[in-house]
Amino acid sequence: MLLLDVNVCLYAYRPNQSETARRVSSWLAPKLVGHERVAVSEPVLASVIRIATHPRIFETPSTPGDVLQFTESLVAAPAARLVRPGPDHWPLLTALVAEHRLRGNDVPDAGLAAHCLELGATLVTLDTGFARFGPLRRLNPLEDSS
């Protein structure tokens, strides 16, 4: 199972934004109709909405309706599965926060890492900062040759 990070979803949402966005979007499209399960979490989707509609991040921010339509289409894709944290999430999250002495904006990353560890999923991300979470399996779509 793959679990998508916010950056991957944002690039897929705005594929004309850059060459990186186009490549990520092209990588993700066949995965969403393939055989491997592609997990999407509600915190990731909420972050996509927050960032895509933020006027300080994008010169022309998206409308809530446009980004909600994208998130709904993502969740409705044949290989997609909306996932929620289970009973092991909190102990995993608190262990990561304590072990790495995380603060502030690093805590949501620990939450996503904990969710992946709980599900046995591979995190699809371009963010190299997730390497600090040792046992977490990561996949950078720009480096994937499959």
User: pLDDT tens across 6-39, in order?
Assistant: 999 999 999 999 999 999 999 999 999 999 999 9
Q: What digits encode the pLDDT tens for the residues 52-82?
A: 999 999 889 999 999 999 999 999 999 999 9
* Domains of the chain and CATH, by start: 2-139 (3.40.50.1010)
Determine if residue 144 is labeled as part of a ligand binding site.
no
CA neighbours closer than 13 Å in the CB half-sphere of residue 138: 21
Q: Any binding-site annotation on 66?
A: no
Average pLDDT score over residue span 120-132:
97
Give the whole-number percent of the chain exceeding pLDDT 70. Answer: 99
What was the pLDDT predicted at 13? Answer: 97
| Furthest-apart CA atoms within the chain: distance in Å | 40
Q: What is the pTM of this model?
A: 0.94
Q: What is the mean pLDDT of the chain?
A: 96
Q: Give the whole-angstrom CA distance, residue 41 versus residue 91.
A: 18
Q: DSSP for 82-99, please give it.
A: EE---TTHHHHHHHHHHH
Is the CB of residue 58 less than 8 Å from the CB of residue 44? no
